[in-house]
Amino acid sequence: MVQPRDVQEAAWRVQLGGDAHLYCALDDYTDAWRPADTVVLLHGIAEHGGIWRPWVPHLTRRYRVLRPDLRGFGRSSALPAGGAFTLADWADDIERMIDSIGSGRGPDDAPPRVHLIGTKLGALVAFELAQRRPPWIASMTLAGMLPSPSKALGPWLDEWVGVIEREGVESWARLTMPGRMGTTLPPEALEWWARLMGTTSAATVLACMRLLPGIDEPPNPEGIACPTLFIVPGAHETGGTYNQRPAPADLLRLQSRVRGSTLREIPADSYHIAATHPDACAIMAAEFIEEC
């Protein structure tokens, strides 16, 4: 049976007010005497910042890499009880996290230049942040973006809620894994992912499922000013049930509304390309960031 391995890492807690906090892992192998931009990696539903480990070697020599657990996931605080938590709320948390750090270089410790990278829920949070146009965003990379969660996932959400309520998060993760990961990963990797996702609080995942039907399309893609890269799977259909890949036409329509953005394809039959093709995606992202 596959067990997630414990990994020693530099990390800190970002206080959000009251008892709430974000847990954030830090990977920094940059030269101590040189200015370094910051990369913030935002994960998906039923995940945490540890899913980005395969990306880290491609980024951490040149950039400080932050891997927060979004609120409700991993080692961050639980979602508030008795109320909906929205993309705007998750984005507020990340803004507070960015405000709490400096560049880490020099006596002035100027605000950092931040490159956002997001997948799935994290891509939606990154998009929400970019629409606000904070001055610290230097670029955004989306590796697994749903242009319309309500359209792509809406037909299955009631069924998925029932599975989670009856059988738990891990059963839902196993049921939906083929449509998420396609045919690339070996059985032991799929087992690892199912068990990792199964550690997430059912209350958090159910809150996400109830939120998604109300997320149609981003309200203001034309307002995004930072350089933006969409990394998308190529035109290969996955044979898995619950195919979560958005229609290519929907992705192209969204990308066309983000001025000056770039779209690059990965030959993949998965939706979660950040997980199934981490090296190819990370190399693309690093090349893009280098130009920003």
pLDDT band at 26; cut points 50, 70, 90:
very high
Residue 66 lies in a domain: yes
> How many separate domains does the chain show?
1
pLDDT band at 18; cut points 50, 70, 90:
confident
The token pair at 214 is 């109300």
Residue 162 lies in a domain: no
Helices 202-211, 157-167: inter-axial angle, 10-degree rounding: 170
Report the CATH number that the domain containing residue 239 is assigned in CATH.
3.40.50.1820
Buried b (16+ CB within 10 A) or exposed e, 273-287: bbbbbbebbbebbbe
247-258 pLDDT per residue, tens: 889 999 999 999
Domain that holds residue 44: 10-148+217-290
Instruction: Give 104 or 211, the one with higher predicted confidence.
Output: 211
Residue 46 lies in a domain: yes
Residue 270 lies in a domain: yes
Q: Which of 246, 268, 90, 217 lies closest to 153 in space, CA to CA?
A: 246
Residue 157 lies in a domain: no
159-209 pLDDT per residue, tens: 999 999 999 999 999 999 999 999 999 999 999 999 999 999 999 999 999
Distance (Å, rounded) from C-alpha 203 to C-alpha 269?
A: 30
For the chain, percent of residues with pLDDT exceeding 90: 82
Calculate ∠ Cα 101-105-110, nearest 5°. 55
Residue 141 lies in a domain: yes
Residue 79 lies in a domain: yes
Tell me if 241 sits within 8 A of 181, measured CB to CB.
no
For the chain, percent of residues with pLDDT exceeding 70: 91
